[in-house]
Every structure is written in C-alpha cells, then in structure tokens.
Amino acid sequence: MLNLSCMSKTTQNKIMKAIRTSGGRFFGLYTKAGESINAQFVSETPSYLNVWDRNQNEYRKLAKASVTGLRLQGQRIGAV
C-alpha cells in the first residue's frame, strides 16, 4: 500500500505546475480518496483547485493536499 500522507512538497509542486501549464487540455487527476477524474483546469486559490470534471459534467473544488497524481500527455507525476 502506498503511503500518501508523506508525499513530498516537491511532488505536489510538480503536479500544480503541470496543471497550471496544461493550456486548457484535459488530464487525469488522482486523489487520496482513490478517485480518478478526467479534469480540465479552471482556477485555483492558495488551498483549493477548481476543475471541470468531464465524466460528471460538473465543476469540482478539490483541496490541493488531496491531489496525489496527474497524467498529462503521457507524463505521469506522483502516484498514478
């Protein structure tokens, strides 16, 4: 079992940088709760990330600390 509570700050920063530079493309987003979301970046606050969930057709507000992994254009960051 992967210990997600000790994910490094560097990994979190890499994930957020990739999301910010996604350029409106959809990407796979993985959370601590085990969800995988086909998401598009909308906006962010210091603690939260707002995305459009293409599977549920709704906007989602996620805590940045709950994001564990990302898949974008064949690139994998974090726990995917």
CATH number at residue 24: 2.30.30.100
What pTM was computed for the model?
0.85
Longest dimension (CA), the chain: 33
Four-residue CA torsion sign, 4, 64, 59, 79: negative
- C-beta atoms surrounding 27 within 10 Å: 19
Asked whether residue 35 is assigned to any structural domain, the reply reads yes
Contact assessment for residue 54 and residue 38, using Cβ atoms and an 8 Å cutoff: yes
Convert the pLDDT of each residue in 21-59 to its tens digit. 999 999 999 999 999 999 999 999 999 999 999 999 999
Reported confidence tier of residue 80, pLDDT bands at 50, 70, 90: confident
Domain count, the chain: 1
Residue 3 belongs to some domain of the structure? no
Residue 5 lies in a domain: no
73: containing domain: 11-78
